[in-house]
Structure 1
Amino acid sequence: MTPACLNTTCRNCNATLTGEYCGRCGQRDGRDDLTFGELAGEVFEDFFRWDSRIWRTLLPLLFRPGFLTAEFIAGRRARYVPPFRLYLIVSFVLFLVLSLTAGDAISIRGDADLSPHPAAQGQVTGDSGSEPVIAPSAVGAARGEGTAGAHIGFSLSDEDSPRWLQDLDQRLENNAGKLQDDPDGLVQLLFDHIPQMMFLLLPVFALLLKAAYLFSPFHYLQHLVFALHFHSFAYLLYLLGALLHYWFPSLAMRLPLLLVFVLYLPLALRRAYGSPLAGATARALVILVLDAFLLLLAFAGLTLLTLALM
């Protein structure tokens, strides 16, 4: 026992100490009068120590697709960061970095003219001032050719719709005008709720996995663990892409990351579930397409909800 560790029993579980660490609970024995440097060292010890759980988790997460889920299913879990904690850490770092750079990366012009353009209304007044005639520019607008001005209009309800839908439609129309005065407000509100939206989509992704492996012996919890690992990797990849975009705006610098993302899922399915490469690839393509559709649908719903609550 080192001179700094003079206790004979663990102060956490009262087990007899035979070294610097307790053989029962694993707590390290140390002095009561820790210095600030020692305290800071304990905080960062796990991160900088090569054999720590963080590095034993991050390295296979990045370079061995599906390995962590396979280890979890096999029951080898203590040596790695738990999946849920890993997801929370990675998502916290991602959205923290994005929030710090959002002001430079996201910009919406607030001087755009959102008022109805005469041509967009589909009519102009003739010389007599009494008879409306169809403007040629309105025909072009109807064909999708565009006009100099743009009118934002939408309606979710009609007179026969339920009262709550009419109220929602009215709130959306009223708040749509705020976009001209404070366009960044909507972006900020959206950004504040995206982490919650992504978290709620995790069980849905696990359901897609469950459907893809409907007749397999794997349980829903194991699919959820795979979803946590896959999204943790996707967040790290997106974080790398965001940093590359911040430093190197060229799109060519980020295209390889998209290829890595597409290839990662079938390789992860192959290792975690033992699927043949062809079967894993087919399942991965279906899952990615469905997940992208659900993501767009959820984002559209979040946008409408945020606009209604502005």
Structure 2
Amino acid sequence: MNELKPSPALLCANCEAPLQGEFCHECGQSIHSVLKPVSHMLEDAGDIFFHMDERIVHTVPPLYTKPGFLTLEYFSGRRVRYIAPFRLMFVFCLLCFFFMHLAINGIKMGASENGERDTFGQFAEAATADDVHELYRKEMRTLIATQSDLATPDVVKTGLGTVQGMVLSAANKRLAELKAPSILPPGSGGEDDVKPSRFTVLGDSSGEFQFHLRWAPDAVNARLNAGLARLQSNVALAINPGPQQSEAIHRIVEGIFGVLPQTMFIMLPVFALLLKLFYLFRRRLYVEHLIVALHSHAFLFFALMILTLLGFAKTAVAGHVPIAGSVIGLVTFAMLLWMPIYLLLMQKRIYRQGWGMTILKYGLIGMVYFWLLIFALTAAVIIGISH
């Protein structure tokens, strides 16, 4: 009689322990080989960064339509079917700022393609010689005030001298069309001469404003002053007409959007700390409040992303199908109204307090966080301008 023999078990290639699933219970190594075609590697990369599988179907709809549902599921231990809170917030944060960046880039700012039409188009539209003279004096006052400011870097002062000549040429061109006398160059004693302002920003002998923090290392002070010089240069080029205005504005926008995601990542634990302070007697761990902050911010970033995409759609179809543009406008209004309501319902369902106390804490937390966010975004804008 033949004896039954057990079939040989698969062994882990790393520790040789018998395998009973897709992962070794001893060392945790997967049974799947890393030697795969490139297409499989790309699928794995997408799964690592975005988890684009069935979990997104279980996560995104309740994230937007069920306030607090994902957070309560996470607290209950039912986590496998949903995308992790930080990964969810991280992906929607990047996508939100990406589409908002596209929207900002679509707005025309600064000089146009020929570099002069936006800046000096007002001269071409001036109806009388007096209008040309008034516009010329206005532009020259701005340029000379900036040029005489000791806080303006030397490289900007050189560029502003060229801009003054461009302004004079544009003004005289329009005066010639109006058959009026030309404006004399600055310093020639003409009636349109603009004197430099007596009020300047104090600076050092190099002509650039400097500051020194006694408690900071020299390398930190040097870096701060270098950033301050870039900030002054970008602002001076952005607010003064000239061929470099558009480039300066573009550089400022790029710098601001480069630091906004990091700013929001810093504000997340701050918001969680506010929740901890306002719900101190609920005896919840700080990490629980952090999960609430992650899910609430993920909802906000997702909503802002959809609103931005709806803005693109409205711009594309409004001119061809007006009723479609009106429908998109109504949907946008409903989404904007849903955002604060969602956050209030989420706070009520998670912390389970009465409506009166919930609304009071909702208002106080919102007010404190709003001003903290304004401060953080202002700092981000300053850092971005010094890019």
Report the TM-score, using the length of structure 1 for normalisation.
Answer: 0.68
Aligned to 2:124: none
Q: How far does residue 262 in structure 1 lie from its aligned partner after superposition?
A: 0.7
Structure 1 position 220 matched with structure 2 position 286: yes
Q: Deviations over 1:33-85 (max 9, x none)?
A: 75556556666689565xx4333333332222112222333344344332222
Percent identity between the two aligned chains: 29
Change (3 A) 1:184 1:252: farther
Change (3 A) 1:276 1:10: farther
* Structure 2: distance between partners of 1:290 and 1:32: 49
| Candidates 323, 334, 355, aligned match of 1:256 | 334
Structure 1 position 297 matched with structure 2 position 375: yes
Q: How far does residue 244 in structure 1 lie from its aligned partner after superposition?
A: 0.3
Provide the aligned length of Structure 1 versus Structure 2: 265
Counterpart residue type for residue 279 of structure 1: M
Unmatched 5+ stretches in structure 1 = 1-5, 122-154
Q: How far does residue 243 in structure 1 lie from its aligned partner after superposition?
A: 0.4
| Candidates 348, 357, 362, aligned match of 1:279 | 357
Structure 1 position 270 matched with structure 2 position 348: yes
Counterpart residue type for residue 80 of structure 1: Y
**1:1-310 mapped onto 2 (5 Å cutoff):** 8-11=10-13, 14-18=16-20, 21-22=22-23, 24=25, 29=31, 34-35=36-37, 49=53, 52-104=54-106, 106-110=107-111, 111-112=118-119, 117=138, 163-164=211-212, 173-179=232-238, 180=240, 181=245, 182-249=248-315, 251-307=329-385, 309-310=386-387
Report the TM-score, using the length of structure 2 for normalisation.
Answer: 0.56
Flag the structure with larger Rg.
Answer: 2
Unmatched 5+ stretches in structure 2 = 1-7, 112-117, 121-134, 143-198, 204-209, 214-224, 316-324
* Structure 1: distance between partners of 2:136 and 2:303: 40
* Counterpart contact for 1:70–1:273, Cα < 8 Å: no
More helix by percentage: 2
SS of the residue 1:177 aligns to: helix
Structural RMSD (CA): 4.0
* Counterpart contact for 2:51–2:83, Cα < 8 Å: no
Change (3 A) 1:54 1:23: farther
* Structure 1: distance between partners of 2:265 and 2:30: 35
* Structure 1: distance between partners of 2:104 and 2:9: 51
